[in-house]
Amino acid sequence: MTVPHSVRIAALVLATTAFYGYVGQLVPQKEVQPPQETVLKADMTTADMVKIGGELMVGKGLCLTCHTIGKSGALRFPDLEGVAARATTRIPGLNEIEYFAKSLYEPDSFIVPGFNPGMPVINKPPIGLTDQEILCVIAFLQTLGGTPTVTLQTSHAYYKAPGATPAAPGGAPGNATPTNATPAKGPVTP
């Protein structure tokens, strides 16, 4: 007995869609949850901040979709290994904390030589890290070729910690208050 053509066509349509559906099951299955609003405790130590900063760089901050840590060769985005050491030399007069703050709040104001602009503004949507979260990220960045010094009381050109010491403690030599950094333009806090 021969199977009617309409039945065969239906079987083919079914088999083809089922096959593609199956291919979809073969690839890694990952559900991406929207970023959680974590509450940062006010009494975090610098070590805690480094840990949180590392998580933020993978997760909510999306940094590692672009950046690499410890890769060389023809790169599309600056590698971040040892960036804390380089950061002190990028813009004369800026210590690494001020430089990182500038890279994150106003990325297009200074472009790393050899790269194209393209870094998003980190405190604005879609990434939208809070000022405290950015401090944690800076703490983590400091570990890449330096020692972390920031605390939640650290202020910089884009953020004034409530009732905190005016200048950033620690950092590399020659880190007077930034001369050419624009003082926070308008309200930076959301």
Interface with other proteins (CB under 8 A): 5-6, 8-10, 12-14, 16-18, 20-21, 23-25, 27-35, 54, 57-58, 62, 64-66, 68-71, 74-76, 114, 116, 118-120, 124-127
Residue 35 touches which member of ligand HEC, other proteins, none, C-beta under 5-8 Å by kind: other proteins
Which residue's CB is nearer to ligand HEC, number 2 or number 65? 65
Residue 163 touches which member of ligand HEC, other proteins, none, C-beta under 5-8 Å by kind: none
Q: Tell me the C-alpha distance between 78 and 115, whole Å.
A: 7
Residues contributing to the site for ligand HEC (CB under 6 A): 57, 61-63, 65-67, 77-78, 83, 86, 90, 100, 103-104, 107, 111-112, 115, 117-120, 122, 137, 141
CB 92 within 8 A of CB 79: no
What six digits make up the tokens of 107? Answer: 């990325």
Shortest CA distance to 85 belongs to which of 137, 140, 149, 144?
Answer: 144
Residue 24 touches which member of ligand HEC, other proteins, none, C-beta under 5-8 Å by kind: other proteins
The partner residues of 159 in beta bridges, in order of sequence, read 156
HSE (side-chain half, CA atoms, 13 Å) at 73: 4
What's the residue count for the chain? Answer: 190
Minimum distance, C-beta of residue 150 to ligand HEC, in the bound complex (Å)? 13
Q: Tell me the C-alpha distance between 55 and 22, whole Å.
A: 33
